[in-house]
Amino acid sequence: MATSTTIEQKRGDVCPHQFAFMLDNWLRRLVQSPRKIVGEYINEGNTVLDVGCGPGYFTIDMAKMVGKSGKVIAADLQPQMLEKVRKKATKHNVLERLSFHRCEPGNIGLSTNVDFILAFYMIHETGDPKGFLMEMKRMLNPGGKLLIVEPKMHVSEELFKELVRDAENLGLKVVDYPKGKGGRSLLLTV
Ligand SMILES: C[S@@+](CC[C@H](N)C(=O)[O-])C[C@H]1O[C@@H](n2cnc3c(N)ncnc32)[C@H](O)[C@@H]1O
């Protein structure tokens, strides 16, 4: 019997914290500049969510972008990832701009209103993309933006289109399919 492939069926395992070094290193900085990827969406004073933040490759740069009056919420399933972010934030002197949130599998579990959300290489690791998008929609301030970037290696064009359809069915609006962000990319607003 033919079955359709869904993102749920294709979801991968969670990237283990032991592989954090693969997510924050000099090589990545050469090809994925955080400023080029998210700089255009963030202003000083903003409240930003880095969901599935991993070891904080984007978190620290975003904390610098929001300035002293802004806030960045670092959220991840793995406490070990959050601990790495905390150490880096201390080293970069931006700890007071950060808050930390440990997510549950299947539930991000935040209700703060935010101006910008980054979901970089993480939606394919969640078991429930629709539930995830619904939660993100509830958190966005009017005019707020959600940038999704998914790795081409793990997420086919077909699966990505399914994610776009899910987002639109939930009432999120597609602003852009930005280029040069490091994967299949989608900018949404409410
Ligand atoms: C491939 S890593 C990407 C990390 C980071 N966004 C980056 O680009 O460096 C994916 C991260 O998402 C987290 N993650 C996966 N599923 C999650 C979920 N349902 N809720 C919160 N975090 C999740 C994993 O623990 C992991 O740290």
Written as tens digits, the pLDDT of the chain (190 aa) is: 333 444 443 455 899 999 999 999 999 999 999 999 999 999 999 999 999 999 999 999 999 999 999 999 999 999 999 999 999 999 999 999 999 999 998 899 999 999 999 999 999 999 899 999 999 999 999 999 999 999 999 999 999 999 999 999 999 999 999 999 999 999 999 9
- The CA distance from 63 to 92, in Å, is 10
Distance 2 CA to ligand 1 centre (A): 31
| Listed residue (60, 46, 99) closest to 76, CA to CA | 99
Domains of the chain: 41-189 (3.40.50.150)
Residue 117 Cβ contacting ligand 1 at under 6 Å = no
Neighbours of 91 (CB within 10 A): 10
- The CA distance from 59 to 89, in Å, is 9
Q: What pTM does this model have?
A: 0.94
Residue 148 Cβ contacting ligand 1 at under 6 Å = no
